[in-house]
C-alpha cells in the first residue's frame, strides 16, 4: 500500500514537472498582450507625423523598391509620405488561413524592416476565423487592428460601427505612397467593398470603402478537355447549354468514366452558406434572376429566379454527385481534382490546385467564361478578400495600420499573393510579367486568356448588401436541399423562403 501511494504521488510529480518544464520557456509572452487601443477620446490628434526626431528617414517616392537606401531629405519635409513615420507603433493583424496569408507571413519581415512598425499576427482556419472575428468585434474588444475581410460580413460590421471607412486614409498623401495608385484597381473590386448603409441593391457600390480588396475571387467554368473531346462535346456557353451538356455527359458516359464513378457537374450543396456563394449568384443573375428587389422585397420567387434555380437544381440532381447535399467548397475542389467530375463552375482560386502536383486531372483541363443567361447576360459574382480596419483603432496606430494595408495592397505584395493563386485586384498586377507567366502555365495559357476576359467584362458585385445577408441565406439553402429531395416545386419552396426572408428583415428592424 505504501508503495502504491508513493508511485501515485510520483506520477503526479512527473506530471507537475512536465508542466513546469513546458511552462518555463513560454513564461515570457503571456501578459503584455491586451493593451487594447481604447483611446476613444483621441487626444493625440494634433501631434502629426513626428518628423522632428533626429535623422529623419524618408524615401524617394519614385523608387518604391528601395528599402535599404534611405535618402536624407534636404528640407524638413512637411506633407510627404514616409514609410518610417510610425516607427515603434505596434499593430495586431488577424489573418484567415489562405494561400495569401502564407505569402503575407513570409513577406512580413519586409514590412517590419521597412516601417519599424511591430506587427503581431494570428492565423486561424477560415470558418473559425469569421467566428472569432465576429466575437472580437461585437464584444467591443477590438484587439485586431487590421484583419482580412470581405463584402458580405463587412456589411454587418460596418452597420454596427465595428469597422471604419478607409477612404480618409486612402486620400491622405502623407500616409499613402505616391505609387500606390487607386486607379490601378479593377473598379468592381473597390465598388464591391463600398456600401452607403442603405439595405438592399440600391446602396451597392456607393458610400464608404469598408475593405481594401487584395484578392479577387471570381468564377469560371473548368472542364475536362479529355472527356469533352472523347465524347465529342463542346464547352457550354449559356446556362441552358450547361444543363444540356451535363445531361449529354451523363448519357454518354452512363455515370462512369475510365471505370470509375463519374458525374457531370460539381457544385457546392451543403447546408451552409457556402452553397449560395459566387458560383450560384453568378448563375442566378446571369439568368435574369436576383435575390432582392430595390424595395427589399425578395426576388427569389420571381419567374426568372425560379427558372434558374430549377434548371440548376435539376441538372445537379440528374447529373451531379449523390453527395451534393453534403458538398462543401473543399469537396467540390477535391472531387474535381480527383477526377470524378466533368465540369465545375467555381472560383479561379482553385485552378492552381486543379493543375497542381497532387491532381489527377492536371494538364487535362479547359476553361470557359461563366455561362450566359437567355438574354446574353454573363456575370461572375465578385467576392474579394481584403483588409479592414477596426473602428477602435485611432490616431497614429490607425495610420500605422493603414500603412500595413497600403503595403499589403501594393502591387508588389499583390504579385506575391497572385503567385499562390490568390488572383489580384490590380490591373497592373494581373498583367505583370510574373503573374502572367504564373497564370499561363495552366491550360497552356487558356486559363489566363479566359480569366482575363472574366476580370475585364464579367465581374460584377451582385448580392444585395444588408446586415442580414447570411441570415436570409439560411432558409434559402434549406429550400434548395428540400427541392433536391423532391419536397415541393421550386416556386412553392421559394415563395415560402421569400416569406421567411421578409420576416427576418422585419425582425431586425430593416423592414417596418
Partner 1 sequence: MTVTSLSPSNSSAAPPAVHKRTDWLPVIMTAPATLALIGILYPFAIAVYYSFTNYRIVSKTYKVVGFQNYVRMFSNADFWEAMGNTLMFAAAALLFELALGFLIALLLNRSVPGVGLMRALLLLPLMVPPVISGMMWKTMLASSSGPVNYIFGLGNYAWFANPWSARFVVIFIEVWSSTPFVALVLLSGLQSLPKAPFEAAQVDGANAWFILNRLMLPMLKPFILIVLLFRVVDVIKLFDIVFATTSGGPMFTTTTIPILVYKEVFKSYTLGSATAKVLMLWVINYVISFWLASRWRKTAASIR
Partner 2 sequence: MKETKGKLLLVYLGMLLLGIYILAPVTWIVMMSFKSKIDVISVPPKFIFTPTFDNYLALFGLGKVGLLTGTTFLSFFKNSLILALGSVLLSIVLGMPAAYAFARLRFKAKESLAFTFLSFRFVPEITIILPLYVIYQKLNLYNTYTGLILVYQLISLPFIIWMMRSYFEEIPVAIEQAARTDGYSWGRTFFRMVLPLAAPGVAASLVLAFIFCWNNFIFGLMLGGTNTQPVTVGLLSFMGTNEVQWGLMAAATVIAVIPLMVLALSVQRYMVRGLTLGAVK
Per-residue x/- track, 337-366, partner 1 (CB under 8 A): -x-x--------------------------
* Buried b or exposed e, range 258-294, using 16+ CB within 10 angstroms: eeeebbbbbbbbbebbbbbbbbbbbbbbbbbbbbbee
* Least distance from partner 2 to the Cβ atom of residue 117, Å: 17
Rule CB under 8 A: is residue 326 a binding residue for partner 1?
Answer: yes
Rule CB under 8 A: is residue 330 a binding residue for partner 2?
Answer: yes
Closer CB to partner 1, 66 or 360, in the complex = 360
Read off the C-alpha cell for 236: 457550354
**Using the 8-state DSSP alphabet, how is residue 506 labeled?**
H
Per CB under 8 A, the list member of 471, 488, 492, 502 interacting with partner 1 is 471
Closer CB to partner 2, 422 or 432, in the complex = 422
Residue 321 interacting partner from partner 1, partner 2, none (CB closer than 5 to 8 Å by kind): partner 1
| Cα→Cα distances 252→80, 134, 245, 320, 322, Å | 67, 48, 10, 14, 18
Closer CB to partner 2, 286 or 416, in the complex = 416
Read off the C-alpha cell for 5: 501511494
Structural contact between residues 364 and 342, judged by C-beta atoms closer than 8 angstroms: no
Residue 470 interacting partner from partner 1, partner 2, none (CB closer than 5 to 8 Å by kind): partner 1
CA gap 75, 85 in Å, rounded: 16
- Report the site for partner 2 in 377-416 (rule: CB under 8 A): none
Structural contact between residues 87 and 117, judged by C-beta atoms closer than 8 angstroms: yes
124: part of which helix (H) or strand (E)? Answer: strand 118-124
Name the one range near partner 1 by CB under 8 A: 15-23, 370-378, 390-398, 464-472.
Answer: 464-472
| Cα→Cα distances 303→109, 290, 496, Å | 54, 10, 15
Rule CB under 8 A: is residue 109 a binding residue for partner 2?
Answer: no
Residue 471 interacting partner from partner 1, partner 2, none (CB closer than 5 to 8 Å by kind): partner 1
Per CB under 8 A, the list member of 328, 362, 411, 511 interacting with partner 1 is 328
Read off the C-alpha cell for 438: 504564373
Structural contact between residues 93 and 404, judged by C-beta atoms closer than 8 angstroms: yes
Rule CB under 8 A: is residue 83 a binding residue for partner 1?
Answer: no
- Inter-axis angle of helices 278-286 and 303-319, nearest 10: 130
DSSP strand E in 338-487: where? 341-347, 365-368, 380-381, 383-390, 459-460
CA gap 205, 216 in Å, rounded: 16
* Buried b or exposed e, range 380-399, using 16+ CB within 10 angstroms: bbbbbbbbbbbbbbbbbbbb
Closer CB to partner 2, 136 or 452, in the complex = 136
Closer CB to partner 2, 24 or 72, in the complex = 24
Per-residue x/- track, 305-324, partner 1 (CB under 8 A): ----------------xxxx
Rule CB under 8 A: is residue 160 a binding residue for partner 2?
Answer: no
Rule CB under 8 A: is residue 253 a binding residue for partner 1?
Answer: no
Rule CB under 8 A: is residue 322 a binding residue for partner 2?
Answer: no
99: part of which helix (H) or strand (E)? Answer: helix 99-115
Name the one range near partner 1 by CB under 8 A: 49-57, 61-69, 269-277, 448-456.
Answer: 269-277
Name the one range near partner 2 by CB under 8 A: 10-18, 65-73, 376-384, 393-401.
Answer: 10-18
394: part of which helix (H) or strand (E)? Answer: none
Read off the C-alpha cell for 425: 485586384
Per CB under 8 A, the list member of 11, 42, 63, 160 interacting with partner 1 is 160
Residue 156 interacting partner from partner 2, partner 1, none (CB closer than 5 to 8 Å by kind): partner 1
* Least distance from partner 1 to the Cβ atom of residue 326, Å: 4
Pairing of strands 219-224, 341-347: antiparallel
Rule CB under 8 A: is residue 226 a binding residue for partner 2?
Answer: no
DSSP strand E in 32-89: where? none
- Report the site for partner 1 in 472-501 (rule: CB under 8 A): 473-474, 478, 481-482, 484-485, 487
CA gap 386, 95 in Å, rounded: 10
Residue 12 interacting partner from partner 2, partner 1, none (CB closer than 5 to 8 Å by kind): partner 2
Structural contact between residues 128 and 97, judged by C-beta atoms closer than 8 angstroms: no
Handedness of CA 485, 490, 491, 494 (dihedral sign): positive
Rule CB under 8 A: is residue 5 a binding residue for partner 2?
Answer: yes
Closer CB to partner 2, 289 or 335, in the complex = 335
Residues near partner 2, by CB under 8 A: 1-2, 4-5, 7-8, 11-12, 15-16, 18-19, 22-23, 26, 29-31, 33-34, 36, 96-99, 102, 120-128, 131-132, 135-136, 138-141, 143, 260-261, 330, 333-334, 337-340, 349-350, 352-353, 356-360, 420-421
Binding site for partner 1 (CB under 8 A): 130-131, 134, 138, 156-157, 159-162, 260-261, 270-273, 321-326, 328, 338, 340, 467-468, 470-471, 473-474, 478, 481-482, 484-485, 487, 504, 507-509
Amino acid at each position: 500500500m505504501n508503495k502504491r501511494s508513493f508511485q501515485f504521488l510520483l506520477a503526479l510529480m512527473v506530471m507537475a514537472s512536465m508542466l513546469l518544464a513546458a511552462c518555463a520557456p513560454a513564461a515570457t509572452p503571456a501578459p503584455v498582450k491586451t493593451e487594447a487601443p481604447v483611446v476613444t477620446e483621441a487626444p493625440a490628434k494634433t501631434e502629426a507625423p513626428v518628423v522632428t526626431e533626429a535623422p529623419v528617414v524618408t524615401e524617394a517616392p519614385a523608387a518604391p523598391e528601395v528599402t535599404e537606401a534611405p535618402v536624407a531629405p534636404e528640407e524638413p519635409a512637411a506633407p510627404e509620405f514616409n514609410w518610417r513615420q510610425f516607427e515603434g507603433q505596434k499593430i495586431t493583424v488577424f489573418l484567415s488561413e489562405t494561400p495569401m496569408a502564407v505569402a503575407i507571413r513570409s513577406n512580413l519581415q519586409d514590412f517590419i524592416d521597412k516601417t519599424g512598425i511591430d506587427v503581431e499576427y494570428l492565423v486561424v482556419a477560415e470558418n473559425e476565423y469569421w467566428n472569432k472575428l465576429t466575437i472580437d468585434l461585437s464584444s467591443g474588444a477590438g484587439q485586431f487592428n487590421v484583419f482580412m475581410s470581405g463584402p458580405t460580413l463587412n456589411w454587418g460590421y460596418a452597420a454596427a460601427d465595428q469597422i471604419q471607412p478607409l477612404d480618409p486614409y486612402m486620400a491622405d498623401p502623407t500616409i499613402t505612397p505616391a505609387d500606390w495608385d487607386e486607379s490601378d484597381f479593377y473598379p468592381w473590386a473597390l465598388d464591391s467593398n463600398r456600401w452607403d448603409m442603405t439595405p438592399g441593391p440600391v446602396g451597392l457600390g456607393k458610400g464608404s470603402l469598408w475593405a481594401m480588396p487584395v484578392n479577387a475571387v471570381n468564377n469560371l467554368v473548368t472542364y475536362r478537355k479529355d472527356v469533352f473531346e472523347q465524347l465529342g462535346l463542346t464547352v457550354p456557353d449559356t446556362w441552358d447549354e450547361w444543363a444540356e451538356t451535363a445531361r449529354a455527359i451523363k448519357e454518354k458516359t452512363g455515370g462512369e468514366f475510365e471505370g470509375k464513378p463519374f458525374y457531370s457537374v460539381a457544385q457546392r450543396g451543403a447546408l451552409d452558406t457556402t452553397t449560395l456563394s459566387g458560383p450560384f449568384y453568378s448563375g442566378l443573375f446571369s439568368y435574369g434572376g436576383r435575390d432582392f428587389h430595390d424595395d427589399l422585397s425578395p426576388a427569389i420567387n420571381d419567374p426568372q429566379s425560379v427558372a434558374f434555380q430549377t434548371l440548376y437544381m435539376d441538372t445537379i440532381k440528374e447529373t451531379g454527385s449523390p453527395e451534393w447535399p453534403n458538398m462543401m467548397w473543399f469537396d467540390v475542389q477535391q472531387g474535381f481534382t480527383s477526377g470524378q467530375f466533368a465540369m465545375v463552375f467555381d472560383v479561379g482560386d482553385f485552378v492552381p490546385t486543379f493543375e497542381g502536383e497532387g491532381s489527377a486531372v492536371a494538364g487535362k483541363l479547359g476553361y470557359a467564361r461563366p455561362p450566359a443567361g437567355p438574354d446574353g447576360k454573363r456575370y461572375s459574382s465578385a467576392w474579394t478578400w481584403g483588409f479592414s480596419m477596426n473602428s477602435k483603432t485611432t490616431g497614429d496606430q490607425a495610420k500605422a495600420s493603414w500603412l500595413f494595408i497600403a503595403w499589403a495592397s501594393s502591387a508588389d505584395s499583390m504579385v506575391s499573393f497572385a503567385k499562390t493563386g490568390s488572383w489580384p485586384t490590380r490591373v497592373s498586377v494581373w498583367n505583370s510579367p510574373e503573374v502572367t507567366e504564373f497564370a499561363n502555365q495552366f491550360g497552356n495559357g487558356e486559363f489566363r486568356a479566359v480569366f482575363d476576359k472574366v476580370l475585364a467584362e464579367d465581374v460584377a458585385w451582385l448580392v444585395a448588401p444588408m446586415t442580414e445577408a447570411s441570415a436570409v441565406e439560411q432558409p434559402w439553402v434549406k429550400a434548395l436541399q428540400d427541392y433536391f429531395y423532391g419536397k415541393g416545386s421550386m416556386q412553392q419552396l421559394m415563395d415560402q423562403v421569400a416569406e421567411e426572408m421578409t420576416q427576418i428583415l422585419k425582425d431586425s428592424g430593416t423592414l417596418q
